[in-house]
A and B are shown apart, each in its own frame.
Chain A
Amino acid sequence: MRKEYKLRCGYLLLNMTVISVLVFLVLPAFIVIPMSFGSSEYLKFPPVDFSLKWYSEFIKSERWVGSLWLSLQVAVCTTVIATLVGTLASLAMTRGNFPGKALVNTIIISPMIVPVIILAIAIYGLYAKLGMIGTRAGLVSAHTVLALPYVFLIMTSNLHQFDISLELAAMNLGANRIKTFFFVTLPLIFPGMMTSAIFAFITSFDELVVANFISGIRGTTLPKQMFDGIRLEVSPVVASVSSILIVVSIVTILLLQSLRSEEPKSQEGRSLGSKIDI
């Protein structure tokens, strides 16, 4: 009897710990949303009144809208390049056979491991020399390098699960290599490519550390604009932008979930992957 009581207490304690940790994880994001609807100059929670002041301020400000537009452009370019280049590389790595494969694998993943701040100042040094500070091409190139490891890892695992006998069947039925690739291989790896594309897009769209150094005056991305907004003036516009970004991340998760159900064979939590940006 007493033993059971002790056991129950143990489970209760465990559950309470878990719930408080989960609240700790989720709550801060949700604090921002109600706050963005206040009108006070100072960040107040809970807000005293309801207004869309900071949203209209955001839309009216040329600086904020311009940075959003730049971020979108850079993220789209990064997504296209990283998804294509990364898919080609993962095809070579899963189906090719050449010496030094393990080393090549490590090199491709390494931008994920090297602290971003180091890459940021290294790239700053390069761009200062080449006059690429504040250019779109500069931002896209740097973000592509940061996004490629994610694309590569997702596509490699996708291709490992790929049933090669389907391709063999197509060849057997008389399709040539190119036809097989476009009518059999590509449709099957397409959901994986979409997942990679989402990872690449978010990697670029959220990226701040590199952008902080190489954006210069001309190329302020949305994260950089937010960073300055928080650091220099604690502007409440940041609250409205943050709320929009939270909605974007919820949409992202739902998109990934729907893609996951289309993948050939999915393990739990795999597509959630590990997105590491600092």
Chain B
Amino acid sequence: MRKSYLKTESVVEYSLSTSMVLLLPIFLLYLIYFVYPLGRLFPISCFEPKFTFKNYAQFFEESVYFSILLRTLRVSAIVTVVCLIVGYPVAHSLAYAKGRRLVIFFACIVLPFWTSILVRNYAWIVLLQRNGLINTLLQWVGLVDEPLRLLYTEPAVMVGMIHFLLPLMILPIYSVLKRIDPNLVLAAYNLGANPWSTFLRVIFPLSLPGVGAGMSIVFVIGLGFFITPALLGGPKNLMISTLIENQLNINDWPFAAAIAFILLLITILLMMIFNKTIGFDKIYRREL
């Protein structure tokens, strides 16, 4: 009797040794292909072969490099704000949509989400090029006389990034809005609030966790964006990630490692701050 009880319990709750065996493969993989390579970055960046902070000094002292960091932060911040302004109304409509409307809305958000970023950036190149659709339209309307230079500029990079990151802003806000008790909205109406003040004083404050989660995830991903700046940006609008590639191409491996390490520190720091203030792991844990 007792024996079978133990056996039953062990299928539901694994012992320490069973858990360790199950976790062993993932640990080995992470150790060799994740922890070890990342752990090497810092030593590589400051031993060549003697210990030096030369590469870090170079990054922060030479304005060329430091301005690239500032640009990356600025572009990410602008993209985040635009995504919020544009994405919030969509999340709101999505949360209250029903039936066929809901299906169409979801399809419009999910399809780009699953389309390769290369395909999407390629589409933007076609649209933004000198004789592309947007320039043709602008000329046809008569807004401009000759084609504008749209491609390989900073705004082009931002458009490409917004296009990629918008679903990541919409989905967390949507899931928080969806969980708001509809009775609260009814209560506000009952107490005489109009739709606008109901939104401002009831719905919006309750959706703030989703807003925080969306903003932090968009900002952090924006910092490490590589493909879009490489394809839609010109040589004059380098971002941190494209700078890393450039340094690697000219074989300055320690300097590339130093920049990567700086980006890694910034990312970890931001994630810790966001997690403390917003606790967005809670939202994502329920989400995924």
Contact A274 B168 (CB under 8 A): yes
Contact B196 A10 (CB under 8 A): yes
Whether A275 pairs with B114 at a CB distance below 8 angstroms is: yes
A168, B8: Cβ atoms under 8 Å? yes
Kindly count the residue-residue contacts between A and B in the assembled complex, taking CB atoms under 8 Å apart: 292
- Shortest beta-carbon distance, A140 to chain B, in Å? 10
Q: Which residues of B contact A273 (CB under 8 A)?
A: 287-288
Is B60 on the interface with A (CB-CB < 8 A)?
A: no
Cβ contacts under 8 Å, A181 to chain B: 11
Name the B residues within 8 Å of A24 (CB-CB). 163
Chain B residue nearest to A241 in the complex (CB): B119
B 260-287 to A, binary, CB cutoff 8 A, 1 in contact else 0: 1001100100010000000000001001
A88 and B22 contact, CB distance less than 8 A: yes
Contact of A231 among B90, B163, B230, B240 (CB under 8 A): B230
Which of chain B's residues have a CB closer than 8 A to the CB of A21?
86-87, 89-90, 166
Residue A66, interface by CB 8 Å: no
Chain A, 9-68, CB within 8 A of any chain B CB: 10, 14-15, 17-18, 21-22, 24-26, 28-29, 31-32, 35, 42-45
| Contact among A32, A110, A177 with B7 in the assembled complex (CB-CB below 8 Å) | A177
> For window 60-106 of chain A, which residues contact chain B by CB distance below 8 Å?
84-86, 88-89, 91-93, 95-98, 104
User: What's the Cα separation between A18 and B230 when bound, in Å?
Assistant: 30
If the complex has contacts A113-B220, A177-B7, A278-B117, are A269 and B122 also in contact, measured as CB distance less than 8 A?
Answer: no
Q: Is B221 close to A, CB under 8 A?
A: yes
Say what secondary structure dominates the interface of chain B: helix
Alpha-carbon separation in the docked complex, A201 to B241 (Å): 25
Whether A29 and B133, one on each chain, are in contact in the complex, defined by CB atoms closer than 8 angstroms, is no
A246 within 8 A of B: yes
A186 at interface, CB cutoff 8 A: no
Determine whether A259 belongs to the interface, using a CB cutoff of 8 Å to chain B: no
Residues B263 and A206 in contact, CB atoms below 8 Å apart: no
Smallest beta-carbon distance B48→chain A, Å: 14
Interface size class of A (residues with CB under 8 A): 35 or more
Structural contact, B90 and A115, CB atoms closer than 8 A: no
B106 within 8 A of A: yes
Answer whether residue B29 sits at the interface, using C-beta atoms and an 8 A cutoff.
Answer: yes
Task: Decide yes or no whether B208 CB sits under 8 A from chain A.
Answer: no
- B26 nearest CB neighbor, chain A only: A89
Contact count band on B: 35 or more
**Does B34 interact with chain A (Cβ within 8 Å)?**
yes
Given the complex of chains A and B, what is the CA–CA distance between A42 and B132 in angstroms? Answer: 10
B71 at the interface (CB under 8 A from A): no
* Bound Cα distance A245, B123 (Å): 13
Give 18 A-B contacts (CB < 8 Å), ordered by A residue. Answer: A14-B93, A17-B86, A26-B112, A97-B16, A115-B263, A117-B244, A117-B245, A121-B244, A122-B41, A148-B26, A168-B12, A206-B116, A227-B118, A227-B231, A242-B119, A245-B116, A249-B111, A252-B114
16 further interface pairs, Cβ-Cβ under 8 Å (given A115-B241, A118-B41): A15-B93, A29-B112, A31-B126, A45-B126, A92-B22, A95-B14, A115-B221, A121-B257, A124-B248, A171-B7, A172-B8, A202-B114, A242-B119, A272-B171, A276-B168, A278-B221
Shortest 4 CB-CB contacts between residues of A and residues of B = A115-B224, A96-B19, A28-B123, A122-B37
Residues on B close to A: CB < 8 A? 4, 7-8, 10-16, 18-20, 22-23, 25-26, 29-30, 32-34, 36-38, 40-41, 44, 86-87, 89-90, 92-93, 105-127, 129, 131-133, 163-164, 166-168, 171, 174-175, 178, 194-196, 217, 220-221, 223-228, 230-231, 240-241, 244-245, 248, 253, 256-257, 260, 263-264, 267, 271, 284, 287-288
